[in-house]
Chains A and B, each alone.
Chain A
Amino acid sequence: MSSIKIPKPDELISIRYTSPKTEWMDTPVDFRPGTWSYSGAPKNLTSLDMPNPRIWQPSDEDWKLPPNWQEIILDGMKERLEKYRSFRLFMDICVRCGACADKCHFYIGSGDPKNMPVLRAELLRSVYRRYFTTAGKRFGRLAGARDLTVDVLKEWFYYFYQCTECRRCSVFCPYGIDQAEITIIGRELLNLVGCNINWVMEPVANCFRTGNHLGIQPGGIKDMLEFMADDIEDRTGVRVDVPINKKGADILFVTPSGDYFADPGTFTCMGYMMLFHEIGLNYTFSTYASEGGNFGLFTSHDMVKRLNAKIYAEAKRLGVKWILGGECGHMWRVIHQYMDTMNGPADFLQEPVSPITGTRFENARSTKMVHIVEFTADLIRNGKLKLASRRNDHLKLTFHDSCNPARSMGLLEEPRYIIKNTCNNFYEMAEDTIREKTFCCGAGAGLGNDENMEMRMRGGMPRAMAVREVVKKYGVNRLACICAIDRATLTSLMDYWVPGVTVMGVHELLGNALMMTGEKERTTDLRGDPIGG
C-alpha cells in the first residue's frame, strides 16, 4: 500500500449517487490523491519513440504539453474517425438513455457522475461535436459541444484512466456502444501529446525490450521456472522439465509474466507445468515471447501490434505446430480479437490438434492459438487426467469471470468444467455479477498501481461485495479466476473488503488435484497448506 490514506471500508461504502450542483461541463476535475496514477516516466516513452517525454505529474498545474497540442489531438481524432467505424458511430448514436450508468463498477463504487459510461463518453463526444459536426460548430454548448481546453484534456486523463475497458456497459447498451472502445481511442489521443501513466508505460517498455512486462531477463525467467520446478518436486516428489526456447517443440506456451513472477500466480504456473509433464506434452516456454499479456491494449492499437508481434515471430522461429496460451484476461482479448488480424496470417502453423486426445480445436483454426482451459477441459472430458478433487476439500470456492474472456470471447463453461472436476465445494456468486455480467476487479487496464488504491477499492467494490455474500452464505474462502491481473489485484481487494478470502488460478486448483505418475503421497497443496477437509 502507498502512503496515500484511503478511507476505511465502512466509510467508503457510504456512496451517494448525487450529481454536483454545477453542470458537468462547468465542473473541473479534482485530482484527489488515491484516485489517479503517476505519469509515464520519460525513459519509457523515449525507449518506445513515443511523443513528448518529460517529467510531470497529473496534479501539476502545467502539463508541459507541446505548443500545438490541440492541433495534434484534433488531427488524431480525425484520423481515428476515418479508421474506426466503432469510434465514429459511438460518437454519433448515443441517445443518453442512461442504461449504462449504474452498470459501471467505477460509478457504483464512486457515485461520480462522470464515471457513468455515458458521461465518460460525452467528455470526448462534446469535443467531437465542437470540431466535427455542423451543429456543434454553429450552436456550441446548445448542441452539447465544447472547446478543447487544457481542463478538458485533464478530465479525459482522469476519467479515461478510471475505466478498465471491461465492456460491461456495452452488454447493457441498446446500441452496443462500448466504452472500452472510446477509452482505448481516448487514451490513444492522450498518448499523442505524451499523457499516459507509468504503470502502463513501464510494462510496455519492458515488454518491448525484454519480452515481458516485468522486465525479467532470460536467466531470470529460467531461474524462476526452475525454482517452481523445485517447489513442485518438494510438494509432489515429481521432477518436471522446464523446456525454454526449445526448437522442435510441438507447442509454444505463452502465459502472462505475472504467472511466474509472484504469488499467487506462480501456483497457477506450477499447475501448468505439472499438467504438461503428466501428459508428456512436447512444449516450450520462450524468453523472447515471455509475455501473454499486452499492455499495448491500454496504450494504442499500434502498441498492441508492436508487442503482440513477438508471439507469431517466436512460434515461427522455434518451428512449433501451434500455440497454447495461459490464463489471462486482456491477453485473450488481444489474442482472440486482434492477433490474427494484426500479425497474421499464421500460415506457418498448423491447425491446433491436441496431441493427447486428438481433438481438433476448430474454433482456433485460423489464429492457431488455444486457451489453456479449452485444452484442459478437453483432456478431462476425454478421461486423460486422474484427478483427486478431495485434495481441494479444504477450499470453498467461488469463481470470478474475468471481463475479457467473458465479454470478448464467451469463455464461460470451460473454466467451470475444470473447477467442477477438481473441486467439490463450488459456489456461484449472484447472477448479476457473473458470466457476461461479471464485475471487473477494478484495477485492469493498467490501473492496478498503489497510488490509485482508493479508486481500485471503489471500482472493485461490486465484485468484492458479491464475494462477501457467498462468504456469508457458504463460508467461501477462495476466489478462483483465469486472469493474471485478477490474481494480483483481487488479492488486495479481498484484503480490504473481505479479509480471509485468497485468490487462485484455475490451474492451481488443477495442480492440487492432478494425480501424477510417481508422485508421493501429498500432504499439502501447492501453497504448502495442509490438504483435506
Chain B
Amino acid sequence: MNLLISIIVVSGLVLLAAGIAASHTASYALTVVAPYLVFVVFLGGFIYRIVKWAKSPVPFRIPTTCGQEKTLPWIKNNPVENPSGFWGVFGRMAQEIFLFRSLFRNTEVKIIDGRPIYGSAKWLWFFGLLFHGSLLIIILRHLRFFTEPIIPCVNALSAVDGFLEIGVPALYLSDVALLAGLTFLFLRRVIIPQVRYISLFTDYFSLLLICGIAVTGLLMRHFFPADLNEIKTLAMSWIIFSPVVPQNISVVFYIHLCFVFTLMAWFPFSKLMHMGGVFMSPTRNLANNSRMLRHINPWNAPVKVHTYEEYEDEFRDKMKTACLPVEKE
C-alpha cells in the first residue's frame, strides 16, 4: 500500500513536470521562482532541524562502547571503538560517516539445526556505501553547471568517474553504482518480508524519487541529449540572481528538475535528515570518559531522597540490637 502510493506520487510528479513544460507561466514558476524557494526551504529547513536537535541538551554521557575502555595502562584499549578523548571520537565518527562502520558489523541470523547461526551480511553495508558514495560524487560533478570556470577538481572528478570511456558521452561509473545501490536497497525493501513490514511511505518514496532523478539524468546524457549549454546558462543565471526561462529544453529536464526540487524541499522534513543527525548521535559522538571527567547535565534538578537520618530513625533500635554503630544513641 505504502509502495503503491509512492509510485502514484512519483508518477504524479512526472505528469506535473510535463504539464509545467507545456505552460509558459508554469515554466516560469519552475525555473525562476522555484529554485530560490526550494533552496530557502532546504537550507532553512535543514538548519531548523539541526538547531531543534541542538536545543535539546545531552544530559548524560551515553556512548555505546564497542571495544576495551581506557583503564589500567597495561591493558590495551581500543581508542576508536571506545574513545576516551577528542581524537578517538573524531576517528570513530569519521569511520562511521565515511565507512559506515556500524553497518559493517551487520550479520544475519538463521535458525539451523535448532540453534541460531550468525551469518555474514555485508551486502547492506556494501550497497549502502555504494549508493551514498556515488550520490556524493554525482552531486559534486553537478558543480560544473554552477561554476564558471569549472572548478578544476570537478573536472578531474568527472574524468576519473568516466575513465572507462564506454560510449559517447562516457558512461559515469557513479551513475551505474548509484543505480545498483538504489536497486538493491529498493528490492531489499520490497522482497525481505521483515523490511517490507516496517517500511513506510517515506521509505519507498525517497528511493523512488532519487531513482527518478538518476534515470532522468541518464536519459538526458545518453538517450535524449539535453542542450548542456542551455542548462548551464540556466544554472548560472540562478547563481547571479537573474534567472531566465530557458527555451528549447526537453521535458525530461523538467521532470529531472521537478524531482530534484521535490527532494530538496522534502529533505529537511523527512528521514533523509539522518544526513545531519548522524553527526549528533550521543551514543557515537561522545568520549567514554565519564568516570574521568564529570559530565554536566544542564537541567540537573534536586530529587526527593531518603536520607541517612531518616533511615537511622527507622532502624536505630534494630541497628543497636545488631551492634551496628549509630549516629544518635
Measured CA separation A181–B281 after assembly (Å): 12
Asked whether B193 lies within 8 Å of A171 as measured between CB atoms, the reply is: no
Asked whether A99 lies within 8 Å of B324 as measured between CB atoms, the reply is: no
- Determine how close the nearest CB of chain A comes to the CB of B101; give it in whole angstroms: 8
Contact with A along B261-274 (1 / 0, CB 8 A): 00000000111011
Asked whether B308 lies within 8 Å of A317 as measured between CB atoms, the reply is: yes
Residue of A nearest to B277 (CB): A93
Asked whether A364 lies within 8 Å of B292 as measured between CB atoms, the reply is: yes
B residues 58-110 with Cβ under 8 Å of A? 58-62, 64-72, 74-78, 81-82, 84, 96, 100, 102-103, 105-109
- Answer whether residue A510 sits at the interface, using C-beta atoms and an 8 A cutoff: no
Asked whether A83 lies within 8 Å of B52 as measured between CB atoms, the reply is: no
Interface centre among B109, B300, B314 (most CB of A within 10 A): B109
Measured CA separation A83–B300 after assembly (Å): 10
- Answer whether residue A189 sits at the interface, using C-beta atoms and an 8 A cutoff: no
Chain B residues near A366 (CB, 8 Å)?
Answer: 290-294
Which of B53, B67, B197, B270 interacts with A113 by CB under 8 Å?
A: B197
Determine, out of B32-40, B111-119, B136-144, the stretch whose residues face the partner at the interface. Answer: B111-119
Q: Evaluate whether A341 and B297 lie within 8 angstroms (CB atoms) in the complex, with A10-B114, A93-B278, A367-B291 already known.
A: yes
Asked whether A171 lies within 8 Å of B64 as measured between CB atoms, the reply is: yes
Q: How many residues of A contact B (CB 8 A)?
A: 120
Residue of A nearest to B271 (CB): A95
B residues 253-288 with Cβ under 8 Å of A? 269-271, 273-274, 277-278, 280-284, 288
- Answer whether residue A305 sits at the interface, using C-beta atoms and an 8 A cutoff: yes
Asked whether A218 lies within 8 Å of B322 as measured between CB atoms, the reply is: yes
Which of B67, B70, B194, B312 interacts with A363 by CB under 8 Å?
A: B70
- Answer whether residue A306 sits at the interface, using C-beta atoms and an 8 A cutoff: yes
| Main secondary structure on B side of the interface with A | loop
Which of A208, A302, A409 interacts with B288 by CB under 8 Å?
A: A409
Measured CA separation A288–B275 after assembly (Å): 48
Determine, out of B16-24, B161-169, B198-206, B230-238, the stretch whose residues face the partner at the interface. Answer: B198-206
A residues 91-130 with Cβ under 8 Å of B? 92-99, 101-103, 108, 113, 116, 118-119, 122
Q: Give me 7 other A-B pairs in contact (C-beta within 8 A), A92-B277, A103-B107, A317-B327 excluded.
A: A13-B115, A89-B282, A170-B283, A209-B306, A363-B84, A410-B78, A437-B105
For this complex, 27 residue pairs linking A to B, each with C-beta atoms less than 8 Å apart, are: A23-B197, A83-B59, A83-B299, A84-B56, A85-B54, A85-B58, A87-B56, A98-B192, A118-B198, A134-B269, A143-B201, A171-B64, A171-B66, A172-B106, A176-B283, A178-B64, A210-B311, A218-B315, A219-B322, A245-B324, A317-B308, A338-B60, A359-B72, A365-B292, A406-B65, A407-B64, A414-B75
| Chain B residues with a Cβ under 8 A of chain A | 1-2, 5, 49, 52-62, 64-72, 74-78, 81-82, 84, 96, 100, 102-103, 105-109, 111, 114-116, 118, 124, 128, 192-195, 197-203, 269-271, 273-274, 277-278, 280-284, 288-297, 299-300, 303-308, 311-312, 314-315, 318-319, 321-325, 327
Which 8 pairs between the two chains have the least Cβ-Cβ distance? Answer: A410-B69, A93-B277, A176-B283, A410-B65, A219-B322, A432-B118, A176-B284, A410-B82
